Amino acid sequence: MAKVLITGGYGLVGHRVSLELMNEGHDVVIVDNRNDYGIIPKAEMDYTFEARKVIVGPVKSYSIDICSRDFKAVMVKEKPEVVIHLASYPRQKIVNKNPQLASSVIIGGTINVIQACKKFGVKRLLFASSSMVYGEFDDGIKETDICNPQGTYAIAKLACENLIKDSGLDYTIIRPSAIYGELDVKDRVISLFLIKAMCNETLKVNGEDEKLDFTYVGDVAVGVRQIIESDNTINKTYNLTKSHSNTLFRAAQIAISLAQSGYVEIGPKHPDFPSRGSLDITQAKKDFDFSPKVDVDEGFSLYYHWLKNSKFWYNYISERRKLWAII
């Protein structure tokens, strides 16, 4: 078993990867500076972050910025064999609020991680990129297809991929898509659909035919563990998704069906987001037997029932429903 340092280890993906690795006997160290990116309400951030910490359980962790000198000090102290670099501005919507700062953090943070890995003898670096690096694509895109990133977030992620490939480190790059699951924050599409449906509010679908390869967070966590445990995955890039696209309209319909409330409003396609389909995961299946288990019906149901049983979200939803009843 390896000693693994995870940047962003209390994020949506990070906390599930931490738990997955710990359950399999790996020695995990978490680095996470609890960034709310200026858009997540404090009460929600406090609840989500603390709940993720409870799920992960006792683990050595450091509240530091990966762009700071403190990160290298942690690397000296902990001497990890593997670094899983998940910390990042998480999506285009957040990056758009301050593109210059976001790109400098995404790229600058990755450079700092690379330098520390090289200096302190890390054997393996896994980097979480994004399906956004492909730009617009239909179903079945492969890792060998040409990337055409659109927007600051995707351009920054592809730049990081290239920096890692040129670093001389043994690396693996993953390109996930539309990750969702329990303990996500509210502003992401599936969270927003489920919570708005439960509040009996309108679910706004930006483009009736727009689709995404929705991927359950637990499947991504298993895939990351499989990658670092395999010698077949060194110096390779993998699509890490469910490999099945669903329209935003269908996602909204599933949310409404689960909640038995809510309404759909169809609007124009969002100009900041390229049209995307499913990603081909043939290479991941071949190299490390990646086999995502959870489809959207099961995954949305798991997330819905978790929201229903969460005291924080139960109170939020109850207050919203009362407000709409008054109006």
Tell me the C-alpha distance between 306 and 280, whole Å. Answer: 30
Q: How far apart are CA 50 and CA 284, in angstroms?
A: 33
As a whole number of angstroms, the distance between CA 171 and CA 235 comes to: 5
> What is the reported pLDDT for 89?
76
Tokens standing for residue 188? 């992401």
Taking only the tens place, the pLDDT of each residue in 279-293 is 999 999 999 999 999
85: CB partners within 8 A, 6+ apart: 7, 8, 66, 110, 113, 125, 126, 127, 128
In order of 28, 56, 232, 323, the CA distances from 4 in angstroms are 5, 15, 18, 47
Query: Crossing angle for the helix pair 311-326 and 189-198, nearest 10 degrees?
Result: 60
Residue the block writes with tokens 């500076």: 33
d(Cα 115, Cα 244) in Å, to the nearest integer? 37
Alpha helices in the chain, H assignment, sequence order: 12-23, 42-56, 69-78, 92-95, 99-119, 152-165, 189-198, 217-228, 248-259, 282-288, 296-309, 311-326
Question: Given this model, what pLDDT does residue 322 score?
Answer: 78
Determine the pLDDT at residue 12. Answer: 96
- The pLDDT score that the predictor gives to residue 208 is 86
Residues of the chain under the 70 pLDDT cut:
37-38, 90-94, 324-327
At residue 272, the pLDDT reads 76
- In the chain the domains, ranked by start, together with CATH numbers, are 3-177+216-242+276-294 (3.40.50.720)
Integer Cα distance of 314 and 29 in angstroms = 32
Distance CA 124, CA 4 (A): 9
- Hunting for tokens 């709310």 — which residue is that? 36
Digit-coded pLDDT (tens) for 107-137 = 999 999 999 999 999 999 999 999 999 999 9
| Measured CA angle at 278 (ends 224, 140), to 5 deg | 105
Provide the pairing of β-strand 246-247 with 211-212.
antiparallel
Amino acid 105: pLDDT: 84
How far is residue 252's CA from residue 193's CA, in Å, rounded to a whole number?
Answer: 6
Whole-number pLDDT of residue 324: 62
Q: What is the pLDDT of residues 70-95, one digit of tens each?
A: 999 999 999 999 999 999 876 666 67
Burial class, 178, CB count within 10 angstroms (exposed 0-12 / middle 13-18 / buried 19+)? buried
Which pair of tokens denotes residue 81? 């064999």
Of 177, 216, 212, 205, the residue nearest 306 (C-alpha): 216
